[in-house]
Structure 1
C-alpha cells in the first residue's frame, strides 16, 4: 500500500501501511513486505499511517471521552495540575511552551504555542530494581475526572504495544537482529501527551499566523499519534514545502524521532512538523491529538549503526537522557538546544522561503 510520498512535481502523500502481519502471526513473506514499506516511508518522508494495529475501538472511545472531559474543565482548575518545567508530567496551559526552541530556533512570529496539553508517563516505581532518575521517570499527576486514570492507562498500554511492534519491524527493515532494540527500550522513558488546540474568542488576535505548535522534530525513537480528522498537522517535505496531513479512518500516524535519525545516520528521517489549526468564523477550529513518545532507556547510548555509517557519522554519540533533557530545556524553559544544529538549519531554510 505504500508508494513514493514526495517528488519534485509537488505531489505528497503519507502512505497507509497495514502492520497486521506482525500482530496476527503473518508469515515471513508478509512481514517482509511490511518491513519494506516501512523502510520506504521512513527513508522518504519520516511519516506513515498504520492500520491493522488492533487497538480496540472501546479503548479509543473511552480514552478520547475522558480527554474531552479534562480539557472542558475551567482553566484555573486545570492549572492546579501543573508541574515544574523540567518534569514532563501534568498540565501545560496555552502559550506556556515554544516547541521550535527545542531545535534552538524561535518561531518566525516569536509567539508561544497556543495548544494546551496533559502528560503522563512511565514512573520509576515501575522498575523497582533499577535506580532511575525521578525527574525523568516522575510520578504521574492524575486529575479528578471520572474514569480518567483507568481510560488513559488502558490507551497508554495499547500505544506502548504498538510502539514495541514498530521497533520489531524497524529491526527487520534495517537488517538487525529481531531483538536489537529491546536492550535500548526495556525501561523506556515513554510519555503520552494529550493535546487540545482551541482558545475562547477574544483571547488572542487571530491574524492567520497563530501557531498551535511550532516547528519541531520529535525527540525519541518513534511517535504513535492518534489524531482527529480536523486539519492542522503539517509536515515539511524535502523541498521546504509544508503539507497538510490528516489520518484516514482508523489509522494512527507514525513518525520517527531524532534518535532514530541519529541511529540510521539520516537514512531514516526525523521530519519537521507543526500544527496550524484552521480559523473558522474568527475562531480556531478545535483539534485534538494524543502523542505516545517511545523514547528509549534514559541511560542508553545512541550512536550510528555500523551498517549506516557509510562515509562517516553525522552525529556524535549521546545518551537518551542528554538528548531529551536538551530538547525539554528548549521547549519548556526557553534554553536553545546546542545539539540540534542540523534540524534548526532546516527550519531556518523554510523560514527564508517565506513558508
Structure 2
C-alpha cells in the first residue's frame, strides 16, 4: 500500500553521507527533485530512503523518549510545557485537540524541543525543570542537528524542483534553525496503550495538516498513521524500514500558491484489541522558516496575502490550544 499511495524517492545523491553538498550540481539532483515535487504536488507525502541519518541514532531517540514517557505523571509534570515561556517541554494526554471538531483531546503525549528556547527554560530552574536528565537533553540536541542538516538538503532539492533561480533560496529562509528567530521544533510523540475509557469519537491524533514548511517523520514499526489520498480517502501510511516520511505543511502550500499540497493525516484508535494494548511512537521534526520571513507566493500570483512566518504560526497555535 505504501509503495502505491505514497511514492518512495531515493535520496542517495544528496543524503547526509555526502560530506560536501556544495559540490553537487543542481542538474545531478533534477530527477530526485522532480520525484519529490511530483509527490508533494499530489499526495503531499514522500518516503525518502538513503537519507543518511543512521538508524542507531533514531533507535536511541525512540528508547530515550520511551524511558521518559514511561515515568509517572507527577515526574513528567516537572518538565511540562509552559505556554507563557514557549513551546518547550512535556505535553500531557488529551491536552491537544488537533481537530477541533473532535469531542475530546487527543490520546497522545509529546515532548517538544526548540533549541532557541532551551536557555530560557533552564534559567527558570527554580520553578521548572526543562529536562529530566542531561543525557536526555544531549540525545535531543544530537538528533535535532541531524534533522536540521537533512531538512536543509530537502529544501535545496525542493528549490530545484520548483525551478527557483537560487537552489539555496528555501534553505536560506530557514538558516536560523536551532537559533533565536526560528521556531523549528523536534517533537517526540507517545501514544500509550488504551483502556476502555476512550470517549466516543476520540482519537489518538485528530485530522490535521501541519503548520509550517515541511515535516520529517520517523515512525516505529507499529503503524497507525493515515493520510488522505487524492480521492479524499484516508489510507494507511505504513512504516517503510529505513525511510523518513516527509510531508508539506500549510505554509509551504501557501508559499507555492497551492502547487504543493499540505495533506491531512490522523491516527485513529485501533479497532483490534491487540493494537489498542500496544503503545506507539513517532518523531516529528517540524520545519518552519525564520520568524521574519515574509511568505509571498513564489509564482508572483498573490493568490494569498503576504504574511510573516511567525504570525502564521501563532495563529495556528491559538486554534490548537
2 CA distance for matches of 1:80 and 1:256? 33
Note if 1:77 corresponds to 2:75. Answer: yes
Contact 1:14 1:245 in 2 (8 A): yes
Q: Which residue of 2 aligns with 1:38?
A: 36
Q: Which residue of 2 aligns with 1:285?
A: 278
Q: Which residue of 2 aligns with 1:115?
A: 108
Q: Deviations over 1:207-240 (max 9, x none)?
A: 6x43111111111111011111212111112322
Q: Which residue of 1 aligns with 2:93?
A: 94
2:186 paired residue among 187, 192, 200: 192
Q: Deviations over 1:106-154 (max 9, x none)?
A: 22xx11111100000131689xxxxxxx79xx99964324621111111
Q: Which residue of 2 aligns with 1:49?
A: 47
Distance change >3 Å, CA 200–CA 272, structure 1 → 2: closer
Q: Which residue of 1 aligns with 2:145?
A: 157
Q: Deviations over 1:6-53 (max 9, x none)?
A: 9xxxx9511111112123366655411101101110111110100111
Deviates further, 213-222 or 183-192: 183-192
Q: Deviations over 1:87-112 (max 9, x none)?
A: 211011010111124xxxx22xx111
Partner-residue secondary structure (3-state), 1:270: coil
Contact 1:301 1:319 in 2 (8 A): yes
Q: Deviations over 1:63-82 (max 9, x none)?
A: 11111110111112111211
Contact 2:290 2:309 in 1 (8 A): yes
Distance change >3 Å, CA 322–CA 29, structure 1 → 2: closer
Q: Which residue of 2 aligns with 1:331?
A: 320
1 CA distance for matches of 2:198 and 2:255? 42
Deviates further, 237-246 or 193-202: 193-202
Unaligned runs of 5+ in 1: 127-133, 333-355
Contact 2:293 2:309 in 1 (8 A): yes
Partner-residue secondary structure (3-state), 1:163: helix
Distance change >3 Å, CA 205–CA 171, structure 1 → 2: closer
2 CA distance for matches of 1:268 and 1:321? 21
1:304 paired residue among 290, 297, 301: 297
2 CA distance for matches of 1:243 and 1:28? 34
2 CA distance for matches of 1:153 and 1:211? 30
How far apart are residue 252 of structure 1 and its match?
0.5
Contact 1:81 1:141 in 2 (8 A): yes
1 CA distance for matches of 2:32 and 2:198? 46
Contact 2:90 2:111 in 1 (8 A): yes
How far apart are residue 200 of structure 1 and its match?
5.3
* Superposition RMSD in Å: 2.6
Contact 1:190 1:293 in 2 (8 A): yes
Unaligned runs of 5+ in 2: 177-181
Distance change >3 Å, CA 124–CA 79, structure 1 → 2: closer
Contact 2:36 2:161 in 1 (8 A): yes
State the aligned residue count.
Answer: 303
How far apart are residue 57 of structure 1 and its match?
2.5
Deviates further, 19-28 or 64-73: 19-28
How far apart are residue 249 of structure 1 and its match?
0.6
